[in-house]
């Protein structure tokens, strides 16, 4: 597929230390491209809650990968990203790739704001990340061996952050992804119990999934030191989004990358070999 010519302008990657932003920046660097990977701790810095930090991050940029922290579902996110899209296009950015959430009405409102922004857009509407088990709030419970979650038999087609990053880089660098919406999932839906069993096989450990009431789960997160806003978000995802609405896998990875999505088994095998779950 033909690569795009943006006169060597830097590519802004937001969420530089996040699960997808880090991977996107690494891939773009590997291609020899000028990458401006930004977060609250970088120079230039970028803070969603400090709009005075936006102009320096956007200076000279024509392409942007947008991940909103902590999630597009939180109150106020829509107004903030709408203002960012306006700022980006005003400063000359004309291609924006947005990481969105599958089954989230608030995320879809943000998608519509991008579609109306005047920029050429690509939307990556993603299901639950596989990496939540290894790079997020489920890592410590997996290491401990007991994963207490407010889940039943609902299945989720977990998506690999590696696939998301591949799709984002393709949209930022190649022709053919203009004004496209890709629903990115894994190849099949599995339950949390199946996911934990898969990790147990690859790590050769005894792991136990313990269903708990939502209130007990919330209390456990707070006790573990998870911040209140993050707890609210996690509870929203477990009690609202994981209601069966996302059980059916989508074909976005195939459409975007012309290959099949990575499986949970592949993710678990790779991650176990990295030693992330070792105790």
Residue 122's closest CA among 104, 93, 96?
96
Mean pLDDT for the stretch of residues 235-259: 93
What are the extents of the domains in the chain? Answer: 11-129+159-187+247-261
Q: What is the pTM of this model?
A: 0.95
Residue 227 has pLDDT above 90, yes or no: no
Share of the chain above pLDDT 90, in %: 83
pLDDT (0 to 100) of residue 209: 96
Instruction: Assign domain 11-129+159-187+247-261 to its CATH architecture.
Output: 3-Layer(aba) Sandwich (3.40)
Query: Angle at Cα 273 formed by Cα 269 and Cα 279, nearest 5°?
Result: 110
Q: Confidence class of residue 35 from pLDDT cuts 50, 70 and 90?
A: very high
Average pLDDT of the chain, as a whole number: 95
Rounded to an integer, what distance in angstroms lies between the CA atom of residue 68 and that of residue 80? 9
Whether the per-residue pLDDT at 7 is higher than 80: the answer is no
DSSP codes joined into one string, 108-120: HHHHHHHHTSSSE
Q: Mutual orientation of helices 214-223 and 228-236 as an angle, nearest 10°?
A: 150
Give the number of C-alpha atoms closer than 13 A to the C-alpha of residue 8, restricted to the C-beta side.
1
H/E element holding 255?
Answer: helix 252-257
Q: How confident is the model at residue 226 (pLDDT cuts 50, 70, 90)?
A: confident
* pLDDT tier at 233, thresholds 50, 70, 90: confident
Instruction: Please name which of 171, 179, 187, 170 lies closest in space to residue 121, comparing C-alpha atoms.
Output: 179
Residue 3: band (very low, low, confident or very high) from pLDDT cuts 50, 70, 90: low
């Amino acid at each position: 597929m033909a690569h795009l010519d943006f006169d060597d302008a830097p590519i802004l990657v937001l969420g530089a230390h996040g699960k997808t932003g880090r991977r996107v920046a690494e891939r773009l660097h590997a291609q020899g491209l000028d990458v401006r990977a930004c977060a609250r701790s970088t120079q230039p810095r970028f803070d969603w809650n400090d709009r005075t930090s936006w102009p320096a991050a956007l200076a000279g940029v024509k392409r942007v990968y947008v991940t909103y922290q902590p999630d597009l579902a939180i109150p106020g996110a829509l107004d903030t990203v709408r203002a960012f899209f306006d700022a980006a296009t005003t400063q000359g950015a004309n291609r924006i790739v947005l990481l969105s959430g599958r089954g989230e009405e608030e995320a879809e409102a943000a998608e519509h704001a991008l579609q109306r922004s005047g920029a050429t857009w690509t939307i990556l509407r993603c299901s639950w990340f596989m990496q939540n088990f290894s790079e997020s709030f489920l890592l410590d419970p997996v290491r401990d061996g007991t994963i207490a979650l407010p889940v039943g038999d609902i299945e989720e087609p977990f998506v690999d952050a590696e696939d998301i990053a591949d799709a984002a880089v393709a949209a930022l660098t190649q022709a053919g992804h203009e004004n496209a919406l890709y629903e990115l999932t894994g190849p099949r839906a599995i339950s949390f119990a199946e996911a934990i069993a898969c990790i147990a096989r690859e790590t050769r450990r005894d792991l136990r999934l313990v269903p708990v009431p939502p209130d007990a789960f919330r209390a456990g997160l707070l006790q573990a030191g998870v911040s209140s806003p993050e707890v609210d978000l996690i509870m929203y995802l477990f009690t609202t989004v994981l209601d069966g609405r996302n059980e059916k896998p989508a074909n976005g990875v195939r459409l975007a990358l012309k290959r099949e999505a990575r499986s949970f088994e592949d993710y678990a095998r790779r991650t176990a070999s990295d030693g992330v779950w070792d105790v």
